[in-house]
Amino acid sequence: MATVVELRNAIAEYCDKYRKVDLPELEKSQIYSLDKTKVIEGLNAELFWPDTWPHSNRNGIYAIFSQ
């Protein structure tokens, strides 16, 4: 299973190798959890269902983790 660190490293590699340099830096939102009772190592969720999903009205990279 991938970790948050691996995901962030992959995004950084993409930005370094392929993303146009004249674009603004990618914005990271808070981590959002669907279940307050589950703790996933490395994920420190600040927002929980049914709170509004961060940047839900914007294009972006969304990653879903499950245990």
At 16 the three-state DSSP class reads helix
CB atoms within 10 A of CB 53: 13
Q: Is the pLDDT of residue 5 over 70?
A: yes
Cis bond upstream, residue 50 (ω within 30) = yes
Long-range contact pairs involving 8-17 (C-beta distance under 8 Å, separation at least 24) = 11/61
Query: What confidence score (pLDDT) does residue 18 get?
Result: 96
Query: What confidence score (pLDDT) does residue 29 get?
Result: 85
Q: Is the pLDDT of residue 2 over 80?
A: no
Exposure string of 10-21, with b = 16+ CB inside 10 Å and e = fewer, is eeeeeeeeeeee
